[in-house]
Amino acid sequence: MNEDFLQYIWRFQKFTDYALRTVSGEELTVAAPGVQNFDAGPDFLNARLRIGGTEWAGNVEVHIRASDWFRHRHHEDRAYDNVILHVVYTADKDILSPGGQTVPTLCIKDLIDYQSWRYYQSWLKNSAFIPCEKLVDAVPDIVKISTVEAAFSDRLRDKSALCFDHLNETRGDTEAAFYRMLMRAFGLKVNAMPFEQLSRILPFALLRKVWEDLADTEALFLGQAGFLEEDSLEAEYALDLAKRYAFLKNKFALEPMPPTAWKLFRLRPQNFPAVRLAQVAEFYHRHRAVARKITETEKPEELFKLFDIALSGDFWNRHYTLGKAGKPAVKKVGATTRNLILINAVVPFLFALGRYGKDESLLQRAAEITEMLPPEDNKVVRQFRSLGFRADNAMDTQGILQLKKFGCDAGKCLTCKTGTYTLERYERTR
């Protein structure tokens, strides 16, 4: 038995007998099972119950064993003070709330349809790409669409949580928080962590002091990244950047990152970190207080133009690193990279500020931007599309990626609308 299945039973009230009684023998009537909570805290919020002759409003917690309450230390967590019912598979122990009150317990071991349990288990045992792969043809399109939309919302909440962390760390400085988000996005998947680390040792307050001078801004980014060791430089341009950085390093008492922090293996030269850092320098030299522009720009097309960045000058035309020259090529932020920056930095930033300030216009703008971006093309998206899932834009594909990683791969079928539809269909038609 697992908790996901028990939560499914409680959420949809799938009992084999509705004459419910608590372990202590009191009659139990469920007016509302509550809303399932996927964040920290009790499993179901705002339930309404009648236990004995008393009406209760509060939260419900679900466990396999009643003793899991103590194993998970809920008795020490005030978030569980308002739990009005403990739903368990095995009632092996009486439990107490953090306030010391006995919490009523409902044991559902004898109230479960075990055919449904075995059917559900068969998905997990026989799954290939996703657990319901052989069953999903019978799922209506509207359910699949709703599944992906819910997963996209989860993905936005997850990514915006990182922005909230940055806002807390920067004491509510939206420009500094967005700077960290943008740096991580410019690093793409391979160098996301080094870029974020660089944003911490080169804080936004310091960037502000130099961004009027492009050469100083480049020198600060590339020097703090550990790329301006003079012994390895030949070109006059690179040596000039090294001299500028040496002055800034001394002035601001800076310590650079080790060059070994950066990954180049299997990266396209256009994505080499030196190139991307020069583009970030160009970006902030040109736009300055960009977070404000992002929140005030109503048309998504105008936001796209912010990232039309191409490096100028002979040096960057011929270099991908600070070392030897290569074949001439324009170093610009291409459409694919721009879209990833929008998805991973701009959209979560707008969503986070919209939630924080309860500003529906920012939430709507975040959704509009994602809908305007083209769908990602990868193996996961292609396989979901072959199973009848819509993948028309980035909102769809971001939802699909979230669903696959945190739903299907984790076996969370019964937190998924497609999964619950499939199980309910089996129960109706068998």
Q: What is the mean pLDDT of residues 341-352?
A: 94
Could you give phi then psi for residue 319, rounded to 5 degrees?
-130, 145
Predicted local confidence at residue 356, as pLDDT: 81
Q: Is residue 214 very low, low, confident or very high in pLDDT (cuts 50, 70, 90)?
A: very high
Predicted local confidence at residue 388, as pLDDT: 95
Q: Where are the domains of the chain?
A: 3-112, 126-153+374-429, 175-340+365-370
287 close to 175: Cβ distance less than 8 angstroms: no
Predicted local confidence at residue 303, as pLDDT: 87
The full 3-state SS of the chain, as one line of letters, equals CCHHHHHHHHHCCCCCCCCEECCCCCEEEEEECCEECCCCCCCEEEEEEEECCEEEEEEEEEEEECCHHHHCCHHHCHHHCCEEEEEEEECCCCCECCCCCECCEEECHHHCCHHHHHHHHHHHHHCCCCCCCCCHHHCCHHHHHHHHHHHHHHHHHHHHHHHHHHHHHCCCCHHHHHHHHHHHHHCCCCCHHHHHHHHHHCCHHHHHHHCCCHHHHHHHHHHHCCCCCHHHCCCHHHHHHHHHHHHHHHHHCCCCCCHHHCCCCCCCHHHCHHHHHHHHHHHHHHHCCHHHHHHHCCCHHHHHHHCCCECCCHHHHHCCCCCCCCCCCCCECCHHHHHHHHHHHHHHHHHHHHHHHCCHHHHHHHHHHHHHCCCCCCHHHHHHHHCCCCCCCHHHHHHHHHHHHHHHCCCCHHHCHHHHHHHHHHHHHC
Q: What is the mean pLDDT of residues 377-404?
A: 95
Predicted local confidence at residue 357, as pLDDT: 80
pLDDT above 90: residue 99: no
322 close to 227: Cβ distance less than 8 angstroms: yes
Q: What is the mean pLDDT of residues 234-261?
A: 95
pLDDT above 80: residue 260: yes
Predicted local confidence at residue 47, as pLDDT: 94
pLDDT tens readout for residues 33-46: 999 998 889 999 99
Q: What is the mean pLDDT of residues 356-381?
A: 91
Q: What is the mean pLDDT of the chain?
A: 93
Query: What's the sign of the alpha-carbon dihedral 24, 30, 31, 35?
Result: positive
Q: 61 or 298: which carries more pLDDT confidence?
A: 61
Predicted local confidence at residue 204, as pLDDT: 97
Predicted local confidence at residue 273, as pLDDT: 96
pLDDT above 80: residue 348: yes
pLDDT above 90: residue 68: yes
Q: 69 or 299: which carries more pLDDT confidence?
A: 69
pLDDT tens readout for residues 122-141: 988 877 899 999 899 999 99
Predicted local confidence at residue 326, as pLDDT: 85
Q: Is residue 119 very low, low, confident or very high in pLDDT (cuts 50, 70, 90)?
A: very high
Predicted local confidence at residue 84, as pLDDT: 94
Q: What is the mean pLDDT of residues 135-148?
A: 95
Predicted local confidence at residue 428, as pLDDT: 87
pLDDT above 90: residue 290: yes
